[in-house]
Structure 1
Amino acid sequence: MKIARIEDLHCDAGWRDFSFLKITTDDGLVGWSEYNEGYGSAGLTAVIRRMAQGLIGQDPRPIERIMSTIYAITRQAPGGMNQQAMAAIENALIDVKAKALGIPVCEMFGGPVRDRLPLYWSHCGSYRFRNAEVMGVEPVRSLDDLVKLGKHVKERGFKALKTNIFRFDLDPPNMYQPGFGRSPGGPELNADGAVLGAISDGLAAFRQGAGHEMGILLDTNFNFKTEGYIKVARTCEPYNLFWMEIDSYDPEGLRLIRDRASMPIASCESLFGRRQFRPFFENRSIDVSIIDVPWNGLAESLKIASMAEAYEINCAPHNFYGHMSTLMSAHLCAAMPNFRIMEIDIDDVPWKDDLVTHPLVIQNGELIVPTRPGWGADINEEAVKAHPPKNPHP
């Protein structure tokens, strides 16, 4: 078996594009992965194409050897888009190999520990500020809308939801994202009274609508510095958070926040590889480690999870992408013993389900791990072509 072609496909996904890598072998097997250029990674497709050039004609099955070689070639520029390109290739190779063996991906990594994955509804309300029309849902314009949405999530059978910081005093109301340069408040990133009040009001509305049994997660992203995160944690104390999520590259600062916070702290979704995760484990900086499978690759993600297990830390995937990413992340969750909960975006474009050959099965807020070979579905190329991307990829 040899690699015959490596192609990238892209489609419109409303407020961003979905991107997929397709590896085809000379005997007709096809492996898929999903990657993302919109999370600070513009130009990733070009990196993948360049990195993949030397793989044509190689046997796709010795994945560890292939990835170790690519790591050595990129050793002087680790992480970043090099690692994301490696992950896209690794994940597609894993799909090829599992299909060649006729087994689900998780069977290659010790078999499933579990076949049902508790989910949390991610970006709950977040996309409804600007993208409600394309999604075909009611927009969020007030705290009352958050109360209604919380009730809806509960009625759908979900046991947990994750939300962001919303500012209804902005014109128009929107998410608060100074850490990404999308809101006033940067680059200083201070947690002033108006921001803390907005956090409290939003959590109170979701708690009112979803009830006391709903797990509520708050994602604070990169929006504050250490002092600000401590203030936010204190503001959140009355709402019994499932976890407070923080993006930080400072393991000691994050440990300080964790020591002063009353709720669990989750982090690490923006890290690459075991070497970047290690100081966060050694400093006991987190309660839950978040791992991005499209960024790290499934094999590397499982190695990170195994390292976390030695520190008694459970893991959760970073998964705000399309259904192929959800399937990739599902096999991580199925195979690792130290699983916490799985992220999924329910609010999305109406054609999201059409992009895969087999729809996801969600029952009572849990994802059923597919047992078909590979990831459990392929990309529907006709559906991808029916929704050309906003950003061209020549």
Structure 2
Amino acid sequence: MKISAITPYPVWVGTRNQLIVKVETDEGVHGWGESGLSGREKAVVGAMEHYREFLIGRDPMAIGALWQEMYRSQYFEGGRVLTAAISAIDIALHDIKGKALGVPVYQLLGGKQRDHIPTFATTRGPCGPEIIEQARDLMAAGWNAIRLLPADHDSSGVYEPRRSIGETARWCAKAREELGDAVVLGIDYHHRLSVAEAASYCQKMPSGTLDFLEEPIRDETPAAYEALRRLTDIPFAIGEEFASKWQFLPYVERDIHQFNRIDVCNVGGLTEAMKVAGWSEAHYVDMMPHNPLGPICTAATIHFAAAVPNFAWLETRASPGERHLGFDDGEIFTTQPRLAGAVYEVGDAPGLGIEVDEALIRKQSFKFWEPPHLRRADGSITNW
């Protein structure tokens, strides 16, 4: 069996682009993958086109060797664009191998360790009175792990962290008081705070309010997270932006965080994700995968979650009340994972268990999309 074609599809689905890739073989077996670098899809397509030049004619079953060749085939190795391209191709190769052998992908990763994948759901709006009722609805639907969102930027795109942290802390404390201790509560600050701001936010809440704090500050400097670690006892959930095992290295080895928000569509695919999982297990760090993309990412992450022992929850954006592209698009993704209450059941279909209407995909078009470019009140740029 040889790789005969690699076709990237950067297409608009719902409210943003999804970049999926089809890898075909000369024996008629094909696989689907997905890239996670949202908003810069054309850069990733360019990387895939470079890789395609030497992957055509190669053995799709040699996944580990092809991963190394893609990573090491340029002097300037690594980086989020290149590993996003590698991720999509790697996932597609696992899909091919599973189909060719007649087994689900999790069998290629060591076998199934759980029958269903617990998820966490996210409330729909920023902190305020409505989040408590939203959380109650999620708990009634079966979720025992819920992520809150902080007080957000205003309609003009101005974001002042100090305005956010006081209001957010107040409503997080209220949510814990109203919802009780049985539910896991966390919050995603989307790396919008400084160390001082994040510490101030944590110190405004009673101990035990939150079970995890996600991405409070940017991740480029592990020492900054170590400084924040000394200022709060809330467990950290970080890593969705990490594009290799090497980026995880200081965080795992220096015991900085407790949950890995690994993204199989950014970190280098399933090949790299399994290495990070094993390393994390040795340091008692649980996997809590980032999964805001489309059904292919969800399917790949379900297989990953099924195969690793140190797993906590999988992010889902398909909970009641959430509106997110792709997850409910049964026309394009004709076979895809569906929630069974608050969990994804682990299926036994060969490969990823995903089917895509390629004719319909070809009719879709790419649209340039930008996330909000936020500014502080003084006009300076801040993080989205």
Whole-angstrom distance in 1 between the partners of 2:131 and 2:264: 30
Question: How big is the shift at 1:303?
Answer: 0.2
Q: Relative to 1, partners in 2 of residues 1:344 and 1:75: Cα closer, same or farther, differing over 3 Å?
A: farther
- Paired residues for 1:1-394 under 5 Å: 1-39=1-39, 43-122=43-122, 124-126=123-125, 143-167=128-152, 170-171=154-155, 183-185=158-160, 191-192=161-162, 194-204=163-173, 206-207=175-176, 212-237=181-206, 240-246=209-215, 247-296=218-267, 297-346=269-318, 347=322, 348-349=324-325, 351-385=328-362, 387-391=364-368
Q: Relative to 1, partners in 2 of residues 1:159 and 1:380: Cα closer, same or farther, differing over 3 Å?
A: farther
Question: How big is the shift at 1:239?
Answer: 6.3
Residue-pair matches, total: 361
Q: What TM-score, normalized by structure 2, do the two folds share?
A: 0.86
Q: Relative to 1, partners in 2 of residues 1:221 and 1:39: Cα closer, same or farther, differing over 3 Å?
A: farther
- The AA in structure 2 aligned to 1:345 is R
Q: Deviations over 1:150-169 (max 9, x none)?
A: 2222232211121322238x
Q: What TM-score, normalized by structure 1, do the two folds share?
A: 0.84
Secondary structure of 1:28's counterpart equals coil
Whole-angstrom distance in 1 between the partners of 2:171 and 2:39: 25
Secondary structure of 2:334's counterpart equals coil
Q: Relative to 1, partners in 2 of residues 1:153 and 1:252: Cα closer, same or farther, differing over 3 Å?
A: same
Q: Which moved more, 1:108-117 or 1:251-260?
A: 251-260
Question: How big is the shift at 1:273?
Answer: 1.5
Preserved contact between residue 148 and residue 209 of structure 1 (Cα < 8 Å):
no
Name the Cα RMSD after superposition.
2.4
Q: Relative to 1, partners in 2 of residues 1:37 and 1:250: Cα closer, same or farther, differing over 3 Å?
A: closer
Whole-angstrom distance in 1 between the partners of 2:296 and 2:150: 28
Whole-angstrom distance in 2 between the partners of 1:295 and 1:366: 23
Q: Relative to 1, partners in 2 of residues 1:91 and 1:203: Cα closer, same or farther, differing over 3 Å?
A: same
Q: Relative to 1, partners in 2 of residues 1:353 and 1:385: Cα closer, same or farther, differing over 3 Å?
A: same
Preserved contact between residue 266 and residue 289 of structure 1 (Cα < 8 Å):
yes
Secondary structure of 2:32's counterpart equals strand
Q: Relative to 1, partners in 2 of residues 1:386 and 1:147: Cα closer, same or farther, differing over 3 Å?
A: farther
Whole-angstrom distance in 2 between the partners of 1:202 and 1:44: 39
- The AA in structure 2 aligned to 1:285 is I
Q: Deviations over 1:84-125 (max 9, x none)?
A: 111111111111111111101110111011121110014x21
Whole-angstrom distance in 1 between the partners of 2:64 and 2:223: 33
- The AA in structure 2 aligned to 1:354 is E
Q: Which moved more, 1:324-333 or 1:352-361?
A: 352-361
- The AA in structure 2 aligned to 1:150 is A
Q: Relative to 1, partners in 2 of residues 1:83 and 1:263: Cα closer, same or farther, differing over 3 Å?
A: same
Whole-angstrom distance in 1 between the partners of 2:175 and 2:12: 31
Whole-angstrom distance in 1 between the partners of 2:259 and 2:209: 16
Q: Which moved more, 1:250-259 or 1:330-339?
A: 250-259
Percent identical among aligned pairs is 24
- The AA in structure 1 aligned to 2:203 is R
Structure 2, unmatched stretches of 5+, are: 370-384
Whole-angstrom distance in 1 between the partners of 2:107 and 2:92: 16
Question: How big is the shift at 1:245?
Answer: 0.8
Secondary structure of 1:325's counterpart equals helix
Q: Which moved more, 1:301-310 or 1:154-163?
A: 154-163
Preserved contact between residue 147 and residue 208 of structure 1 (Cα < 8 Å):
no
Preserved contact between residue 322 and residue 352 of structure 1 (Cα < 8 Å):
no
Q: Relative to 1, partners in 2 of residues 1:388 and 1:72: Cα closer, same or farther, differing over 3 Å?
A: closer
Q: Relative to 1, partners in 2 of residues 1:304 and 1:125: Cα closer, same or farther, differing over 3 Å?
A: same
Whole-angstrom distance in 2 between the partners of 1:159 and 1:254: 28
